[in-house]
Amino acid sequence: MLNLLKKCNLCPRRCGVDRSKQLGLCGASDKVSIALVSLHQWEEPCLIGENGAGTIFFSHCNLKCCFCQNYEISHLGRGVEVGIDRLAEIFIEQQERGAANIELVTPTHYVPQIIEALDIAKSNGLQLPIVYNSNGYENVETLELMRGYVDIFLPDLKYFDDDIAIKYSNAPNYFDITSKAITKMLELVGNVQFDSNGQLQRGVIVRHLILPNHRHDSIKIIDWLYKNFGDAIYISLMNQYTPMFQASKYKKINRRLTTFEYNSVINHAIDIGVKNCYIQTGKTATKDFVPDFNCSGV
């Protein structure tokens, strides 16, 4: 499995480098780097349980959005390197803390190491659902490697229009690639399944962060999701966009979302019949919701 890192094509960037000798375009070497291990209370209600989601924030990212709220780890690479044995221990420690699940945040570039760590952790008693929280810019063959390992997929679907994806994330063919990835995710885990306490045990939640001045792109995304998946998945429509990192370079996204923009997208979802949908209320567009990536728990 680790041989995949010798000529890395795990993500759609397909940079093909030997990550033991050279960093990939994602910024990662062949060593796992983690910026924070936490019990996270700010996920969708079906993922947090009593104590929070067992988030593990991995350093680096294959997408590099100019407005990334987690830029300290995605762009700047803050984190601590750990071995596979230590990663397995972290999974067990999250279970012992009472986490609702093991949530792998931006895991794509570490899939081989994660699989090996999960094998170790499961042999040592890990029983929690595994959540794969990604930006959605995924290769279906990499997702196939996670068959039997992941219970819940939590992908972003950021853009419908390719020009927007290229402008803000330098991600050609983003929608084409991500739409196929989400289809694969549903194949791997099936329709949403909840336990008696309303906690998600299996299934797909697609997140979409609505950008200022781009509500029509958001509407196209909702139309596509509902047409293709109906009630088999959940949609999470997020209003928490805060202009950070390099967003100031782009006039259209250098402000917060307006109430009108967000409500117009929500109302469209209601009008076409979407029922399985999370929305955000209150003042979520603030830096206060960005975690402190202090490498705690690593």
On average, the pLDDT of the chain sits at 96
Own/partner pairs for 278-286, CB < 8 Å, 24+ apart?
278/44, 278/45, 278/205, 278/234, 278/235, 278/236, 278/237, 279/237, 279/239, 280/237, 280/238, 280/239, 280/240, 284/238, 284/239, 284/240, 285/239, 285/240, 285/241, 285/242, 285/256, 285/257, 286/240, 286/242
pTM of the model: 0.96
Q: What value does the mean pLDDT take over residues 75-93?
A: 98
Q: Where are the domains of the chain?
A: 29-289
> Which residues neighbour 76 within 8 Å (Cβ) at sequence distance 6 or greater?
none
- Contact of 243 with 253, CB cutoff 8 Å: yes
For residue 285, the model assigns a pLDDT of: 53
**Per-residue pLDDT tens for 246-289?**
999 999 999 999 999 999 999 999 999 999 999 998 665 556 66
**Per-residue pLDDT tens for 57-68?**
999 999 989 999
Phi-psi label, residue 256: left if phi above 0, alpha if psi -120 to 50, beta otherwise: beta
Quickly name the fold that domain 29-289 has: TIM Barrel (3.20.20)
Q: What value does the mean pLDDT take over residues 136-142?
A: 98
For residue 282, the model assigns a pLDDT of: 67
